[in-house]
Amino acid sequence: MNDVGGAALQFAFVAALYAIATALIGVRTGRQELIRSAERATFGVFALVSVAMIALLFAILTHDFRVQYVTSVSNLSMPIFYLIASLWGGQEGSMLLWLWVLTLYGAIAVAQNLHRNRELMPYVVPTLMATSILFLAILIFAENPFHELAQAPLDGQGLNPLLQNPLMVIHPPNLYLGFVGFAVPFSFAIGALASGRLDSQWIRSIRRWTLIPWLFLTVGILLGGQWAYVELGWGGYWAWDPVENASLLPWLTATAFLHSVMIQEKKGMLKVWNMSLVILTYGLSIFGTFLTRSGVISSVHAFAESSLGVYFLIYLAIALTIAVALLVWRLPELRSDHRLESVLSRESSFLFNNLFFVGIMFSVLWGTMFPIISEAVRGVKISVAAPFFNQVNVPLGLALLLLSGVCPLIAWRRGSVRNFQRNFLNPLVVSLLGVAVLYGSGIRHVVALISLSICLFTFSTIVLEFYRGTRARRASTGGTAWQAFFSLMTRNRRRYGGYTIHFGVVLIFVGITGSSAYKIERDIVLDPMEQTTVGDFALRYETLESDLQPTHESIRARVEVSRNGRYVTTLFPERRFYFAQNQPTTEVALRTSLLEDLYIILAGFEPSGTATFKVFVNPLMVWLWLGGLVMIIGTLIAIWPERGQSARIGAPGTPTTETAAEQG
Amino acid sequence: MNTADIVVIVVMAIGLVAWIGEPVVRRGRMQEAAADAHDDAIERLILQKETLYTAIRDLDFDHQTGKVDAEDHVALRRQMEAEAADILRQLDLADPLADLDLVAEREILAYRRKEDAASEDTCPTCGTDLAADATYCPICGQLLKPAV
């Protein structure tokens, strides 16, 4: 099977080259059958890469330790769940998964457009295939997953214990589904530029193709944060680690694009800007892969360092040069159909939104690249720590949150000052009252007060939007408020899905504010049966327990938690020692409530039984994850296909102007 | 390499070549492509139409929820309607049967326009000509008689 897998990758390489050549020849000579043949090759590439995936999975499941990759990521004692996960637990496997997702997306995109966008497809196919060739080249020439050892060991090394976590099993595929997905919008952008079909058609074709990768990337980032929180044991969820940043960079530009694309769809404006965002997002996805996989910046994630960097950098240089050259060539044709009519309009608030997103992107990129740049220029690797990122990004992030509250209140094209004032009054009053209450209850942290007041403001504008919409809907269709609310949601999924996502973002900001402004962190040393207090919690360390498992030995402390004299729970912070990898890990003990998380790590212990703990109290932490959940729900609402695609509105005179009750 | 592997690899190679090569050997798909291009043009027009319709809906909605003044609403809606009419004309030229619903909608529109022109009533708020039996103004939404 290993030879079959290797051969499949080589065939796929040839087929991808063939697809590029025939598609381009086909469009030059007008021979449609060549373009059809190229499209078939994309399906072929997908099938072949699938064969390679199956072959590698087969090798892992049958414990074929002749294969170097299998030896490095799995062993005989691993349960089947983690055996499957080890398919992407190492360098070669994760590249293969990446490639497989890419070819899957490519095949779906081509299948969807067999009778549509015919002028674009001869360029879409080569762009998709070029990306596949990058990964195929790496898998064939640099990191062959089917490479066999001269002599097979009796057992493998097993998967890194830090990765043996259910979150880590689904986190990488999620990120890849996100990263890789942006190749499709990019290839359509290239198709539009190369073919000259620059109207909004391509933008519409990729609408879902941007939202779906965005959803996966969002989920991937959140899962990564959750994994860091429960598995790495330093009490936080985001450390501005280069690899975390790598996943955030394309997310930022993609989010900017999701907003600005609405202006192009509605107004035919910002065409060059949107093109640039798509190109940038794709470039950053490849760059993110490069950061993660090349080990250029050492970080907790750089599990495997390798010399892949050259492949990525050469490819990135070529791809971006071609994309930018095409963009410059088409500049005269990308003029806007309309001009910005008023500073006080939704269009202009979208522009600000985009500037902030791109601003954050550049600051994160700069902070991430700084160690490499400083090493190259001055020979010293200077890491940029979290304070830099926070100082720059907290104000920008809060400004964005405020915009997400302001923007929906302003009309397209032209907002009038009178309407603006009327719409703003209530949310403003709510947020000021809220701040007064918070101040009264003893909160003095300035940034937290600002952040929470913006959260309240944005939250009340969202509620207002839903309320007004429901009222207008009910005025026209009658029925109960719930029926009106439901029909409002189904009539404009994108808008109300978007508001739902904004609500999730508000919750995330609440979680971040609470857990960073009011975090309690304590290092404590306790003898058995000794007691201490952290925040409101009384902790009593009772005893150490040890347990011997086939793969690891574990030592855990029994800690009784009470508050105000009342028993709350018993927690078991734990340290494990994995024999195969010769590696210790920490298992966090966590008690979550809507108000705060109590987070205990067993940092060390002595034979006498004296133990060292690191204890965190992270207020409002759970709201971050709940907010993520709300974002996912909102995105699903927005993605869900509309029934009856064609939007019908009445001619003047039919009851679509449903304001009777409100006006009268 | 064992025999089974060799057989699988050979089958894979033959299958791939046959699958990719078939369109080139068969050819004769030019007409299909030409038809596709024509469909593309029509689809593009229909999309433009739908974009405008959505924009009009959004405008109405913004007006209802108090974000757009009656004055702006009338002006912007007129402008969009003119653009929509232009696209409908282009669609008609491209293929009169492309969208039967569209034809029906146009007829209704024309009928209502005629009716509107015949009536002498105007809206007290925005001055739009109204149909004789209008319950509320089609442009600004002003209630004219109590709803039934």
Contacts of A423 in chain B (CB under 8 A): 66-67
- B36:A115 CB<8 A: yes
- CA–CA separation, B70 vs B136, rounded Å? 14
What pLDDT is attached to residue A664? 29
- Name beta bridge partners: A531: A540
The per-residue pLDDT for range B29-44, each reduced to its tens digit, is 544 555 556 666 777 7
The per-residue pLDDT for range A110-144, each reduced to its tens digit, is 999 988 888 899 999 999 999 999 999 999 998 89
Q: Which of B20, B23, B69 is closest, CB to CB, to A419?
A: B69
- B76:A413 CB<8 A: yes
Beta-strand pair A583-587/A520-526: unpaired
Mean pLDDT of chain A, nearest integer: 86
Contacts of A410 in chain B (CB under 8 A): 67
- Closest CA–CA distance from residue B60 to any residue of chain A (Å): 6
B62's CB contacts (< 8 A; 6+ apart) are: A411, A412, B68, B73
Contacts of A651 in chain B (CB under 8 A): 105, 108-109, 112
**What strands lie across the sheet with A520-526, from one edge to the other?**
A520-526, A611-619, A596-605, A589-592
Contacts of B115 in chain A (CB under 8 A): 653
What pLDDT is attached to residue A224? 87
What pLDDT is attached to residue A611? 92
Q: Which of A3, A44, A465 is closest, CB to CB, to B16?
A: A44
Minimal-distance CA residue of chain B relative to A419: B67
The per-residue pLDDT for range A85-119, each reduced to its tens digit, is 888 888 889 899 999 999 999 999 999 998 888 88
pLDDT above 50 (res A304):
no
- Closest CA–CA distance from residue B142 to any residue of chain A (Å): 6
Sorting pLDDT into bands at 50, 70 and 90, what band is B2? confident
- Closest CA–CA distance from residue A201 to any residue of chain B (Å): 7
Contact (CB, 8 A) for A48 and A85: no
Q: Which of A204-213, A278-287, B99-108 has the lowest mean pLDDT?
A: B99-108
Sorting pLDDT into bands at 50, 70 and 90, what band is A658? very low
Q: Which of B53, B108, B136 is closest, CB to CB, to A647?
A: B53
The H or E element spanning position A567 is strand A566-571
Contacts of B36 in chain A (CB under 8 A): 115-116, 118
pLDDT above 90 (res A235):
no
Query: For A163-270, where are the alpha helices, taking DSSP H only?
Result: 166-181, 183-195, 201-205, 207-227, 242-267
- CA–CA separation, B11 vs A416, rounded Å? 70
The per-residue pLDDT for range A557-582, each reduced to its tens digit, is 999 999 988 999 999 999 988 887 77
Q: If you average pLDDT over residues A36-60, what whole number do you get?
A: 95
Contacts of A413 in chain B (CB under 8 A): 72, 76
What pLDDT is attached to residue A361? 94
Contacts of B63 in chain A (CB under 8 A): 657, 659
Q: Which of A18, A44, A656 is closest, CB to CB, to B57?
A: A656
- A415:B67 CB<8 A: yes
C-alpha distances in Å from residue B51, one per residue of A398, A498, A571, B100: 33, 18, 57, 18
- A37:B13 CB<8 A: no
- CA–CA separation, A127 vs A121, rounded Å? 10
Domain ranges, ordered by start, for chain A? 2-394, 416-517+622-640, 520-619
Q: If you average pLDDT over residues A14-41, what whole number do you get?
A: 92
What pLDDT is attached to residue A240? 86
Q: If you average pLDDT over residues A261-272, what whole number do you get?
A: 82
Percent of chain A with pLDDT over 70: 92
- CA–CA separation, A316 vs A318, rounded Å? 5
- The 3-class secondary structure across B79-126, one letter per residue, is HHHHHHHHHHHHHHHHCCCCCHHHHHHHHHHHHHHHHHHHCCCECCCC
- A412:B66 CB<8 A: no
Contact (CB, 8 A) for A614 and A603: yes
Contacts of A465 in chain B (CB under 8 A): 65
- CA–CA separation, A236 vs A516, rounded Å? 9
What pLDDT is attached to residue A107? 95
- A653:B138 CB<8 A: yes
pLDDT above 80 (res A338):
no
Q: Which of A119, A647, A664 is closest, CB to CB, to B143?
A: A664
The per-residue pLDDT for range A33-44, each reduced to its tens digit, is 899 999 999 999
Q: How many other C-beta atoms lie within 10 A of the C-beta of residue A283?
A: 20
Q: How many other C-beta atoms lie within 10 A of the C-beta of residue A587?
A: 18
- A652:B140 CB<8 A: no
Sorting pLDDT into bands at 50, 70 and 90, what band is A280? very high
Using only C-alpha atoms, chain A has a radius of gyration, in whole angstroms, of 27
Minimal-distance CA residue of chain A relative to B73: A414
A375's CB contacts (< 8 A; 6+ apart) are: A381, A382
Minimal-distance CA residue of chain A relative to B101: A648
What pLDDT is attached to residue A331? 87
What pLDDT is attached to residue A643? 58
The per-residue pLDDT for range B40-86, each reduced to its tens digit, is 677 778 878 888 888 888 888 888 877 777 887 888 888 888 888 88
- Closest CA–CA distance from residue B120 to any residue of chain A (Å): 15
- The residue among B61, B76, B142 with the most chain A CBs within 10 A of its CB, best to mutate, is B61
- B9:A7 CB<8 A: yes
pLDDT above 60 (res B115):
no
pLDDT above 90 (res A326):
yes
Sorting pLDDT into bands at 50, 70 and 90, what band is A60? very high
pLDDT above 70 (res A554):
yes
- CA–CA separation, A431 vs A449, rounded Å? 10
Higher pLDDT among residues A95 and A345, named by residue: A95
- Closest CA–CA distance from residue A420 to any residue of chain B (Å): 7
